[in-house]
Amino acid sequence: DAKTTQPTSMDCAEGRAANLPCNHSTISGNEYVYWYRQIHSQGPQYIIHGLKNNETNEMASLIITEDRKSSTLILPHATLRDTAVYYCIVRVPQNQGGKLIFGQGTELSVKP
């Protein structure tokens, strides 16, 4: 079973920051948090991942709370093309297969 809970849906205005929350209260110390997104009828696209520290790349920022029980994905300037389902995933440890188990995700709608 997925170890994360996310809101079912969110709206964001174009050009504004989109902040997508994720709860993973049962995360273990060696489990990474991954974020992917899926645009309709395509394969998921990798966004970012992290363990303890906040991370930033060209797509997004990932803020992980100090207790690691929750995280937030930030899209700094959302565009219409960012409309997608966003999945927050706690990856199974490598020595247990390293699987990505998907939850239901958050359907983000970016509106003009």
Partner 1 sequence: GAVVSQHPSRVICKSGTSVKIECRSLDFQATTMFWYRQFPKQSLMLMATSNEGSKATYEQGVEKDKFLINHASLTLSTLTVTSAHPEDSSFYICSARDRGGFTEAFFGQGTRLTVV
Residue from 49, 55, 61, 74 touching partner 1 (CB under 8 A): that is 49
Closest CA to 109 of 88, 66, 87, 80: 80
Residue 10 as a binder of partner 1 (CB under 8 A): the answer is no
**CB within 8 Å of 47: residues ≥ 6 apart:** 35, 36, 37, 57, 59, 60, 73, 86
Residue 102 as a binder of partner 1 (CB under 8 A): the answer is yes
Of the pair 65, 104, the CB lying nearest partner 1 is at: 104
CA distance 43 to 109: 18
**Per CB under 8 A, which region of 13-21, 35-43, 60-68, 70-78 contacts partner 1?**
35-43
Number of residues binding to partner 1, judged by CB under 8 A: 21
Residue by residue, DSSP assigns 75-105 as ETT--GGG-EEEEEEEPPPGGGT--------
Residue 109 as a binder of partner 1 (CB under 8 A): the answer is no
**Residues within the interface to partner 1 (CB under 8 A):** 34, 36, 38, 41-46, 49, 87, 94, 97-105
